[in-house]
Amino acid sequence: MQAILYKDFQQLRHNSAMLAIAIIAIVMPILCIAVIPIFGMDRNTAATMYQFAIITLGVCLAPALAIDAIRSDLANGTILTVRACGRPLHQYVIAQLVWALIPIATASAMLTTFAYAIASPLRLAILTPQGIATAFTPTLMAFACYLWSICVKGKALLMTSTTITETPHTETQPGVNQLTAIRVTDMTFGYKSHKPVLEHINLNVPAGQSLGILGYNGVGKTTLFGIITGLLRPQQGSATINSSVFHSMREVFQLSDSGNLSPTMTIRENLKFRSMLYATHANPHPIDIQHLDELPMVQAFELGEHLDKKVKDLSSGLKKRAGIVAGMLFEPKLILLDEPTNAVDPITRQLLIDLMKQLTANGRTILTITHDLEYCWEVTDRIIILDNKHLVKDCNINDFPNIDAFKQAATLGREHINVNFGISK
Ligand SMILES: Nc1ncnc2c1ncn2[C@@H]1O[C@H](COP(=O)(O)OP(=O)(O)OP(=O)(O)O)[C@@H](O)[C@H]1O
């Protein structure tokens, strides 16, 4: 809960528009009450000013706290991070409720006390049931905004489910009894009920394997990741992560497009937020926040000089590097990477190849969605290809005599040669 409140506070602090609204929400009502004794207002005018002050507080502060925080979390992958740290989602829901209600309830109580103390015409009005109800109006508005956020904006959040469960052993090759890391069984999924994106997918990923997931744009690769991590629910069949291999979601890292980083926070603040989420009684400081620039992973990806930059001010490649480092620092055992080499420079790409080879040698299970066939050739043991809603190819990298044969298989023999673009000579 402390981590979520820390993140909400940092996000508000860095969002100048929201911060300005929050300051207006506090200053305006104070001024409205302060002018009552200065102008010697009568009881009726003072009561109107008081109501105006309270409504201003609610209208400005309630959406800024209750709606903005949850909407940002859904957009930037914070929900993924919260799930990945293995904490139950209800802790997130409660933390956001505290963030939505406590500051506004405190501000209302202080404003009412201030009005009672300095505006004598208001004293009787404040002590009536109607006066007390008025004082609670901003809190009720914040609660309504919070419910709206959770039910409408946060629907995706409520739909998530845990896919970590006991999965029986299977023989992946005759005579080889290997632990299954991920099993997808006869899975069908569509964003609309009668329009499947993936149909009857069966997939068994043994623990310790590096699997490449290939396929044309829009074929459903990212969707498959969403189903495996429980962010999307299959319409038919199942997808499970084996709890005998991965004990909780904190051992699972998924690199999403946003890198699961809050764009308004700096890399350092994002790492501190994650560190707070991953903290346990036994290990209260999973990473050394004070000496981040000395961590080998931070040094390897040359992030030291960028630690105090806001994520939204980073280039796409740096964002990707920061996202990878933010996940890897917590030593995940199951790594799901969505186009890791997208937007990175050749040096970082080579760094990623070396890192993935070391992690595979170290027994980690890695699933990589990629269009970078040379990267795939270097780091994966096996590839699957999705096409036209189905899993159409499943083979070991060793099955190909050379990279050209691999590339031809990976593109399903659909290279376009001598295409007419209609460009006039
Ligand atoms: N939230 C969503 N709502 C509705 N349709 C969606 C949603 N997300 C993805 N889709 C659709 O589902 C299909 C599969 O999308 P997905 O992102 O899984 O493809 P992909 O294989 O990862 O593509 P790419 O290689 O371009 O990243 C696409 O047709 C896409 O338009």
Q: What is the pLDDT of residues 331-371, one digit of tens each?
A: 899 999 999 998 889 999 999 999 999 999 999 999 999 99
Q: Looking at the structure, do residues 121 and 174 belong to the same domain, yes or no?
A: no
DSSP 266: B
**Order of all β-strands in the sheet with 365-369:** 252-255, 334-338, 365-369, 210-215, 382-387, 390-396
Residue nearest to atom 28 of ligand 1 (CA): 218
Question: What is the structure's pLDDT at 283?
Answer: 84
Strand partners, 266: 310
Q: How far apart are CA 331 and CA 47, in angstroms?
A: 59
Q: Looking at the structure, do residues 14 and 110 belong to the same domain, yes or no?
A: yes
Q: How far apart are CA 246 and CA 165, in angstroms?
A: 9
Residue 145 has pLDDT above 60, yes or no: yes
CA atoms within 13 A on the CB side of 380: 31
Q: How many domains does the chain have?
A: 2
Q: Looking at the structure, do residues 249 and 323 belong to the same domain, yes or no?
A: yes
Q: Looking at the structure, do residues 70 and 197 belong to the same domain, yes or no?
A: no
Residue 220 Cβ inside 6 Å of ligand 1? The answer reads: yes
Q: How far apart are CA 134 and CA 54, in angstroms?
A: 7
Secondary element (H or E) of residue 47: helix 43-76
Residue nearest to atom 7 of ligand 1 (CA): 191
Residue nearest to atom 11 of ligand 1 (CA): 218
pLDDT band at 65 (very low <50, low <70, confident <90, very high): confident
Pocket residue to mutate for ligand 1, from 189, 214, 221, 384, most atoms within 8 A of Cβ = 221
Across the range 25-43, mean pLDDT stands at 91
List the domain range (segments joined by +) for residue 115: 2-159
Q: Looking at the structure, do residues 23 and 42 belong to the same domain, yes or no?
A: yes
Residue 404 has pLDDT above 80, yes or no: yes
Output the six-digit token pair for 300. 């390897």
Strands 170-173 and 176-178: antiparallel
Residue 174 has pLDDT above 80, yes or no: no
Give the N- to C-terminal CA distance of the chain in Å, as an integer: 64
Q: Give me ligand 1 centre to Cα 213, in Å.
A: 14
R_g of the chain, CA atoms, integer Å: 27
Q: Looking at the structure, do residues 26 and 143 belong to the same domain, yes or no?
A: yes
The full 3-state SS of 55-101, as one line of letters, equals HHHHHHHHHHHHHHHHHHHHHHCHHHHHHHCCCCHHHHHHHHHHHHH
Domain assignment present for 415? no
Domain assignment present for 67? yes
Residue 421 has pLDDT above 80, yes or no: no
CATH of the domain at 228: 3.40.50.300
Domain assignment present for 381? yes
pLDDT band at 108 (very low <50, low <70, confident <90, very high): very high
Cβ contact 221:213 at 8 Å = yes
Q: Looking at the structure, do residues 131 and 235 belong to the same domain, yes or no?
A: no
Q: Which single residue is written with the structure tokens 């005579």? A: 175
Output the six-digit token pair for 73. 């979390």
Domain assignment present for 182? yes
Judged by average pLDDT, the poorest of 18-22, 40-44, 247-251, 391-395 is 247-251
Question: What is the structure's pLDDT at 372?
Answer: 94
Pocket residue to mutate for ligand 1, from 192, 219, 235, 369, most atoms within 8 A of Cβ = 219
Output the six-digit token pair for 330. 């917590």
Nearest to 206 by CA among 161, 258, 243, 170: 170
Residue 413 Cβ inside 6 Å of ligand 1? The answer reads: no
Residue nearest to atom 20 of ligand 1 (CA): 218
In angstroms, the Cα distances linking 57 to 22, 28, 102, 104, 239 are 9, 8, 13, 8, 47
Encoded amino acid at 403, one letter? I
What are the two backbone dihedrals, phi and then psi, of residue 98, each rounded to the nearest 5 degrees? -60, -45
Interface pTM (ipTM) of the complex?
0.97
Pocket residue to mutate for ligand 1, from 197, 198, 339, most atoms within 8 A of Cβ = 197
Q: At what angle do helices 43-76 and 89-118 cross, to 10 degrees?
A: 160
DSSP per residue, 176-207: EEE-EEEEEEEEEE-SBTTB-SEEEEEEEEET
pLDDT band at 238 (very low <50, low <70, confident <90, very high): very high
Across the range 54-58, mean pLDDT stands at 93
Residue nearest to atom 6 of ligand 1 (CA): 191
Provide the 3-class DSSP secondary structure of residue 151: helix
Atom of ligand 1 nearest to the CA of 371: 25
Q: How far apart are CA 232 and CA 78, in angstroms?
A: 16
Domain boundary among 124, 159, 194: 159
pLDDT band at 158 (very low <50, low <70, confident <90, very high): low
Residue 108 Cβ inside 6 Å of ligand 1? The answer reads: no
Domain boundary among 93, 127, 159: 159
Question: What is the structure's pLDDT at 224?
Answer: 96
Domain boundary among 159, 179, 214: 159
